[in-house]
């Protein structure tokens, strides 16, 4: 039971922190883009937008820093055996993440307090460095997670770690695919979310120049990332097929080992009956996507020991949610690009409504994707090397801190929502003149 509460607490902390982490990657890019547009055009509306987004970045960066610190402590307190084993191997990306975090924090401070003190181009350069710091910070953390999925850079001799190569560990087989997939997910989720907020306001007043500018910049960040995301997902899927056959089988609800394995759309896996019901099957689709050959053999869960199966239903359904939303956002990207090309981006009420409805979908896909990544690796905390049950702390009573942290996160989320509404949304030009 304590193992369950440890996993729940870590999962809750990750689910909370990832929202602020991805905003810290993407919102500074929109902030810098707005300032660059102001420098190029001289239009004061872009300057107002950059200032407003910089205040939002500051609030969310502070919350992300706190929740990230909590996560770092939880790694040591909840999973001491894991940290003892993995510390020499993933210490390098975590250290580099610390440098990237400080880079982001330092230049965010310069950006926030340098409006009247720095040369405009120097100020913009500080904003660009905030963007880079956020991106590198996220990338380094993701390489550590990728190592957990595809451990590399060491040998085990009688249970002891020898020949440690931290560079090889950081650039493990899954690292590049996971980093690209995560960065694109961040830009897509945040870009579409910000565009959705302004789409709702444009539906009330489509001529409002402030919301037009904000909507266009947010789409310029979110929609290209959404369009590229299926390609990065295909890359990640091929890596999973090569390195984590049990995860791939769970993703697709694939129980039998077979050639011409079908790609399933929807469906509900039944682990006891060892079949996936109600799915639409595309013959050979999984073999083609996983191995580039519709006749390739795909290993099913039936050929993997039952105690090494991930929670199949949760992994499959999370994967379906992620893929479904990702596909919709890619369609939205193509739709938006066509409207932009025709000069009708702000004229289509149907498109504005579609973006408005999609406001939170990127974050839902993001959370579902992390469930796929983490649950799909179970029962391993380090794939094929250490089980999660062997890494958990022996300390009893973990239900109490789980309940406490749940209440803290709920309260913190309420405070953040109130701050964002008061600082950014309720002080927008449209509301001030209403």
- pLDDT at residue 425 is higher than 60: no
Joined tokens for residue 405: 């942290």
pLDDT of residue 433: 44
* Res. 8 pLDDT band, cuts 50 70 90: confident
> Span 154-170, mean pLDDT?
86
- pLDDT at residue 240 is higher than 70: yes
Q: What does 182-229 look like in DSSP terms, one character per residue?
A: HHHHHHHHHHHHHHHHHHHHHHH-TT-HHHHHHHHHHHHHHHHHHHHH
pLDDT of residue 429: 55
* Res. 279 pLDDT band, cuts 50 70 90: confident
* Res. 208 pLDDT band, cuts 50 70 90: confident
Joined tokens for residue 190: 């945040």
Q: Which residue has the higher pLDDT, 260 or 401?
A: 260
138 to 83, 112, 175: CA distances (angstroms)? 20, 22, 12
Average pLDDT value for the chain: 88
Q: Which element (helix H / strand E) includes 269?
A: strand 268-270
- pLDDT at residue 424 is higher than 70: no
> Span 117-128, mean pLDDT?
91
Residues in the chain: 434
Q: Which residue has the higher pLDDT, 191 or 42?
A: 191
Cα-Cα-Cα-Cα torsion 37, 42, 44, 46, nearest 10 degrees, comes to 0
Nearest Cα to Cα of residue 15 among 312, 315, 319, 374: 374
pTM of this prediction?
A: 0.90
| Range scoring the smallest mean pLDDT among 9-13, 24-28, 136-140 | 9-13
pLDDT of residue 75: 80
CB 390 within 8 A of CB 81: yes
Cis, peptide link before residue 434, omega less than 30° from 0? no
Residue 312 to residue 205: CA distance in whole angstroms? 47
Joined tokens for residue 192: 């579409």
Nearest Cα to Cα of residue 189 among 218, 231, 215, 210: 218
Task: Give the 3-state secondary structure of residue 116.
Answer: coil
- pLDDT at residue 306 is higher than 60: yes
């Amino acid at each position: 039971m304590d193992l369950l509460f440890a996993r729940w607490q870590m999962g809750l902390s990750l689910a909370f922190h990832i929202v602020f982490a991805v905003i810290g990657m993407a919102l500074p890019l929109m902030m810098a883009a707005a300032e660059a547009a102001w420098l190029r055009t001289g239009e004061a509306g872009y300057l107002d937008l950059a200032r407003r987004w910089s205040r939002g970045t500051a609030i969310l960066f502070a919350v992300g820093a706190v929740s990230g610190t909590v996560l770092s402590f939880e790694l040591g307190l909840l999973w001491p055996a894991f940290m003892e084993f993995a510390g020499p191997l993933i210490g390098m990306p975590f250290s580099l993440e610390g440098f990237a975090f400080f880079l982001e924090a330092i230049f965010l401070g310069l950006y926030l307090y340098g409006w009247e003190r720095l040369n405009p181009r120097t100020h913009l350069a500080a904003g660009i460095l905030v963007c880079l710091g956020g991106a590198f910070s996220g990338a380094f953390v993701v390489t550590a997670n990728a190592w957990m999925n595809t451990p590399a850079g060491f040998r085990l001799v009688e249970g002891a770690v020898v020949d440690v190569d931290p560079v090889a560990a950081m650039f493990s087989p899954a690292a590049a695919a996971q980093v690209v997939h995560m960065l694109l997910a961040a830009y897509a989720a945040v870009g579409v979310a910000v565009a959705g907020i302004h789409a709702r306001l444009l539906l009330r007043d489509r001529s409002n120049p402030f919301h037009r500018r904000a909507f266009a910049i947010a789409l310029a960040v979110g929609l290209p990332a959404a369009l590229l995301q299926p390609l990065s997902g295909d890359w990640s899927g091929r890596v999973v097929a090569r390195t984590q056959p049990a995860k791939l089988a769970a993703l697709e609800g694939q129980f039998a080992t077979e050639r011409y394995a079908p790609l399933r759309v929807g469906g509900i896996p039944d682990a006891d009956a060892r079949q996936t019901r109600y799915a639409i099957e595309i013959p050979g689709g999984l073999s083609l996507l996983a191995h580039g050959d519709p006749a390739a053999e795909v290993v099913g869960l039936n050929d993997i020991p039952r105690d090494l199966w991930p929670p199949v239903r949760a992994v499959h359904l999370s994967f379906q949610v992620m893929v479904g939303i990702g596909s919709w956002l890619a369609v939205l990207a193509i739709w938006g690009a066509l409207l932009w090309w025709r000069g009708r981006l702000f004229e289509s009420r149907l498109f504005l409504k579609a973006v408005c409805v999609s406001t939170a979908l990127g974050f839902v896909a993001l959370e579902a994707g992390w469930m796929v990544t983490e649950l799909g690796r179970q029962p391993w905390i380090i794939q094929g090397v250490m089980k999660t049950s062997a890494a958990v702390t022996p300390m009893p009573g973990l239900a109490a801190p789980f309940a406490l942290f749940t209440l803290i996160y709920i309260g913190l989320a309420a405070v953040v929502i109130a701050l964002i509404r008061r600082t950014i949304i309720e002080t927008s030009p449209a509301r001030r003149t209403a």
